[in-house]
Amino acid sequence: MDVRLHRSSGHRELDRAAMRHVQRHWTFQPAMRDGVAVEAIGLVPIAFDLSRG
């Protein structure tokens, strides 16, 4: 899986942490066409809540 940053949070470390989290913990089902897995692109927004400790 290729993970890329579409739009920065404005903080390099938050961006890196989000990308690391996606790579390590998220799984996706492949897009299918006629029963065959095909390449697909998805944009998934990640919200940060810095008020929590």
Each residue's pLDDT tens digit, 3-31: 899 999 899 999 999 999 999 999 888 99
Say whether pTM exceeds 0.85.
no
**3-state DSSP helix/strand/coil percent for the chain, to nearest 5?**
25, 10, 60
Question: Domain count of the chain?
Answer: 1
Mind listing the pLDDT tens digit for each residue in 27-45? 888 999 999 999 998 888 8
CB atoms within 10 A of CB 19: 14
Domain, as residue range, for 50: 1-53
